[in-house]
Structure 1
Amino acid sequence: MAEPTGRVLVVIPTYEERDNLGPVVSRLHAAVPEADVLVVDDGSPDGTGELADEMAAADRRIRVLHRGGKSGLGAAYLAGFAAALEDGYEVVVEMDADGSHPPEDLPALLAALDDADVVLGSRYVPGGTIRNWPARRQLLSRGANLYARLALGVPIKDITAGFRVFRRQVLEELVLDEVASQGYCFQIDMAWRAVQAGFRVREVPITFTERERGASKMSSAIVAEAFWRVATWGAGRLVHRTKPRAVRPSSGAPSSTPSGTTSGDTVSDGPVRA
C-alpha cells in the first residue's frame, strides 16, 4: 500500500453498537495498525459509549467523543471532522460501526489517495459486491444512487456510500457549517459538494456485508429527506445552470483554521466521569 500523507483518523459514529464496535476496531487495527480511531457516540443507552471508553483506556490509538443524544449521522460525522482537523490529521476516514464496511479494504482506499482527494468505497463499480442484503434494500439503494446521479449530474456510481476517505484540504475548504443533511443524504451532500468544488473523487470497489448484530438505523424519514434534498439541489442546478469547477490537478497544503467540536460534546482518551 502506498503510504498516505500524514496521520490517519477513522471516525466511527455509534448508537447502540456495543456488540459490533470491538470486533470492527480490532479488524481495523489489524488492517491499518497506524490508524487512530475516534468513536463518536450519541449517548447510546446500551453502553456503547462506556465500552468505547474502556477501549480507549487500553489503546492510545482510540479516542471517544461523547455527544448528548441521538442527533443523526451527519451531525456525528461533522463533529468528528471538526475534532480531526483540530488535532492535525491529514486523512480522515468515515466508517460504520456495524461491520458492513470491511476494514480489510481500507488499505486500498488509502492507496487511491495517490491521485484523488476523496475516495469512496463503492458497491456499484466493477469488483464491488453486496452480501446478505434483501432484494428490496438493493433495489432502494440502486434506485437512490441512480436518482441522485441523474438529478445532480455527477458520474459517481455509489454516491450514498458511507465508507470513504477525505484529504484534510477537502474538509477545510467545504463549508461544513452549511451541511444539514442526515442519514445517507449526508453522504450524497458531501460527495456532491466535493465534485462541485473541483476535488478529485475516485471509487474503489468494496465488499459490503449486511450487519449480523443489532438493528439498521434506516427509516422512511431518512429516505424522504434524501429524496426531497436531492430534488431541491437538482432543481437549483438546472435553474442556475451551475457547473462544477475544473478538476484540480492536486491538493495543496491546508489553508484554514478548523472550528472545534460543537457545544456540549466531550472528547476523551479514556473513561469520562461526571
Structure 2
Amino acid sequence: MNQIIGIVIPCYKASGLINSVIKRIIDTTNKINNIATIKIYLINDCCPQNSWQEVDKKFDIKIIHHSRNLGVGYASKSGFYEALKDNCEAVIKIDADGQHPPEYLAEIIPFIISRSENEMFLLKGSRYCFRNRFTKIPIMRRIGSLILEPIARVGLNCRGLTDIANGFIATNSLTLNYLLSVNTNTQIFSRYLFESSLLEKSCSLKCQIYQFPMAANYGENWITSMESNKMIFPILSFWFKVICRRIFNQYLFNLNLGTLLLAIFLMAFSYVIYTFFFTISPSISLGIFVSAGIAASFTSMITISSICLCLFFFYDYTSGTRIKIVNFRYYLDDIFLRKVDD
C-alpha cells in the first residue's frame, strides 16, 4: 500500500514562480506514484502579490489561507498540522520560489519510506557540502554561513552540520508529532530562525540528522525579505541561548564526566580569581612579596583549571553526534545544469 506523503509549500511573494514549482513537483512525483501518494499543501501567508492565484486550477492541491502574514515558520506549521490531520506518513517542506529543486523528491521520498517507522529523524538539504564554481551564492549569505555554522555546531553539538538556514526539510509523522507536541523548553519560531529553531528542537529530542548535498539556486532577480543588519543581534542572541540551554541540559540537568570536569574547572578558576584580586593584587600594590605557598597554589590552580577546561572541550566534542550525509544522484544533474547555464 502506498504511503501518503505531504508536501508543504509556504507561499509569500512567489509571483511568476509558484506555478512552475508545483508543476515540477507533480511531474517528479508522478514517476514514483507506485510507492507514494502525494498531497500538496500550499499555504498562502497573506501574500501581497496573491501568488497563489497563479496556480493552475487543474492541479489537485489544498490551499490554506492566512488572513495576515504570520511568517514562514507559522505557515510551515499550518501545513504540518494539516498534513498530520490527513494522516500523511511523512512531510516535506519546500520553498515556493524555486530555490529547492523539486526533482530531488524522486530520491527523497524513497529514502523516507525506507526509514523505520519508529526512527526519529530530520533530513535537510545543504548548499555547502561541496565547493564548486558553478553554484553562485550571494557573498553575504556565504560570510554569514562561515561565521554562524561553527557556532551552530557548538550549540547543537552536531559535527558536520552545514547550511543551518536551509528550508528544504523532510521527516516522518512520528518525528513531526514529537516536534509539534513535546515540550523540551525550546520553541519552533514562526518567522526568521524557523529552520534553526527546528534543528535545535530536533537535536534536543535526539533525532538523527541527515543532510543531502544540493546546488544553490539563486536566480538573477533573487531578493530576500530579511533585513540582515537588523538580524545580526537576534541571531547571535539565539545561538548564545542555544549553547547555554545545551550546556545546562547536558551537564547540569544530567550528571556525567563532563559535569565533573566543568565543576573542577569552575572551582579552580574561582580560586584563581579570588586569590588574584584579594591576595596577590593588594600585595603587589603594597610592594609586599606573596608567600611561596600562595604563589604555588595560584599557579597550580591555573594549571588545573586549564587542563580541566581543555578536557571538558574534548569530552564535549567527542560526545557530539555526527551528521550523516545522504548523496542523491540528482545532485550531479543539478550541477551539470548549473555548468551548462554558466
Shorter-chain TM-score: what band?
0.7 to 0.9
1:229 to 238, 262, 271: 238
Distance 1:206 1:217, change over 3 A: same
Change (3 A) 1:29 1:213: farther
Distance 1:215 1:25 in 2: 21
User: Contact (CA 8 Å) 2:187, 2:201: kept in 1 or not?
Assistant: no
Alpha-carbon deviations, 1:90-129, whole Å to 9, x = none?
1111111111111112223223323473211122224888
Given candidates 12, 24, 28, the residue that maps to 1:27 is 24
Amino acid aligned to 1:64: I
Q: Give the root-mean-square deviation of aligned CA atoms.
A: 2.9
Partner of 1:154: 158
What whole-Å deviation, never above 9, does each CA across 1:22-57 have from its counterpart, x for those lacking one? 1111111222125321111111121213334xx3x4
Q: Can you give the 5+ residue segments of structure 2 that lack an aligned partner in the other structure?
A: 255-318, 323-342
Q: Which residue of 1 aligns with 2:99?
A: 100
| C-alpha distance 234-207 of structure 1, shift in aligned 2 (>3 A) | same
Greater relative CO (CA pairs within 8 A, separation 6+): 1
Residue 166 of structure 1 corresponds to 171
1:58 alignment partner, SS class: coil
Gaps of at least 5 residues in structure 1 are: 248-274
TM-score normalised by length of structure 2: 0.63
SS in 2 for 1:7: strand
Give the Å deviation of 1:66.
Answer: 0.3
Q: Does 1:39 align with 2:42?
A: yes
The separation in 1 between residues aligned to 2:79 and 2:219, in whole angstroms, is 23
1:200 matched to 2:208: yes
Of 195, 198, 207, the residue aligned with 1:187 is 195
Q: Check conservation: 2:41, 2:64, Cα contact below 8 A.
A: yes
Q: Does 1:241 align with 2:250?
A: yes
CA distance in 1, matches of 2:180, 2:62: 25
Task: Say which is worse superposed, 170-179 or 77-86, in terms of deviation.
Answer: 170-179
Aligned ranges 1:32-181 → 2 under 5 Å: 32-33=29-30, 34=33, 35-52=38-55, 55=56, 57-60=57-60, 62-113=61-112, 114-115=114-115, 117-126=121-130, 131-155=135-159, 156-176=161-181, 179-181=187-189
| CA distance in 1: counterparts of 2:173 and 2:250, whole angstroms | 29
* TM-score, normalisation: structure 1: 0.77
Q: Which has the higher helix share?
A: 2
**Across the two proteins, how many residue pairs are aligned to each other?**
240
Partner Cα separation in structure 1 for residue 132 and residue 203 of structure 2: 22
2:194 counterpart letter in structure 1: F
Give aligned-pair identity as a percent: 22
Alpha-carbon separation, structure 2, partners of 1:145 and 1:78: 25
